[in-house]
Amino acid sequence: MENTSKLIAFTDAASIEAMTIAKQIYLPAMTDFDEVWKLVPEKSLTVKGQNDRKDADKTEKLTYELIYEKVIRKEYSLRGDCINIVSVTNDEYRRLFKTDTLPVQACYLMDLCRTPGNFFLIPYKNAYSVTDARKSGPTKGYFDRFLLAVYNFFFGITDYSGSLNSVLKDDDLAEFYKSYLREKYTSDDNLSWNKFVEINFLQDYVEDFAENSYGKPIEFWPGHFTGKAMPETEGEFILFYENAADLIRKRGDRINLRLQGKRKKY
């Protein structure tokens, strides 16, 4: 069976293609989406000029979201996001090694970044962007460290340096994201890490299932959780490029199975 990640490349993580696939793979697990979520383009207004001049161009970006029709009840939409962000690492590699040439492993990863295996949904509403916070916050966009903060929240681990409040840098944003996690990933009135992992196809990002629960997230390279967010050696860069690419391929396989209807129970 061919891997979905090889069949489809998105022009943007929030493109109509990406959101259509997301709707197909998420709907079976999150039944409250059914018949009440729809794809809509994001309208934008680009203002030109200075000193409050009224020159403006109306544009429609190729950005789509799953938006709840009864906005008053939900007050947020779901937008696409890339799990692994490669641009930050590439820029650091060029800066650190004073070169414009990236290793071949970086090129392989870049080929996979805009494919289904590197795409998931996050909640969004005005002024609250988990995507922007991930890129600019202390995790530097590295998904393993962000996922560790999510894991800590699910299991009540309150170490501030590894909390969602610390990672997202904004208490209001963190509380918004926590409320979303409580709403969508609760089982028998308890937060369910298993449900979060299964619904988002993150089995390969965490330690093996044991004692009726998935384990904690896996580091991209040894010491990443306790050391600096950015890689510092050639070996750490290569490990990130290789591990992130491998995880995207594996997750793409899981999504492909969902699209093929081979795995219907979480």
Q: How far apart are alpha carbons 144 and 178 in whole angstroms?
A: 18
Structural domain including 219 reads 79-259
pLDDT one-digit tens code per residue, 164-184: 999 998 899 999 999 999 988
What's this model's pTM, rounded to 2 decimal places?
A: 0.85
Quick check: is 47 in a domain? no
Report the chain's terminal Cα–Cα distance, integer Å: 21
The whole-number pLDDT of residue 52 equals 44
The single-letter DSSP state of residue 79 is E
**Amino acid present at 183:** E
pLDDT one-digit tens code per residue, 117-144: 999 988 887 767 788 888 888 899 999 9
pLDDT one-digit tens code per residue, 2-49: 444 445 788 887 788 888 888 888 877 766 654 455 666 665 544 444
- Please count the structural domains in the chain: 1
215 confidence band (pLDDT: 50, 70, 90) = very high
Distances in whole angstroms, Cα of residue 82 to Cα of each of 55, 70, 120, 147, 152: 34, 27, 7, 13, 21
Determine which helix (DSSP H) or strand (DSSP E) holds 58, and give its type and residue range.
Answer: strand 56-68
Q: How far apart are alpha carbons 163 and 84 in whole angstroms?
A: 20
76 confidence band (pLDDT: 50, 70, 90) = confident
Quick check: is 151 in a domain? yes
Q: How far apart are alpha carbons 44 and 37 in whole angstroms?
A: 21
Q: How far apart are alpha carbons 201 and 129 in whole angstroms?
A: 22
73 confidence band (pLDDT: 50, 70, 90) = low
Neighbours of 250 (CB within 10 A): 17
Q: Are 130 and 81 in contact (CB under 8 A)?
A: yes
Quick check: is 39 in a domain? no
Quick check: is 51 in a domain? no
Q: How large is the average pLDDT for residues 138-165?
A: 92
Quick check: is 14 in a domain? no
Quick check: is 17 in a domain? no
- Residue in 166, 75, 172 with CA at minimum distance from that of residue 128: 172
86 confidence band (pLDDT: 50, 70, 90) = very high
Instruction: Classify residue 88 as exposed, middle or buried by CB count within 10 Å of its CB (0-12, 13-18, 19+).
Output: middle
Quick check: is 3 in a domain? no
Quick check: is 59 in a domain? no
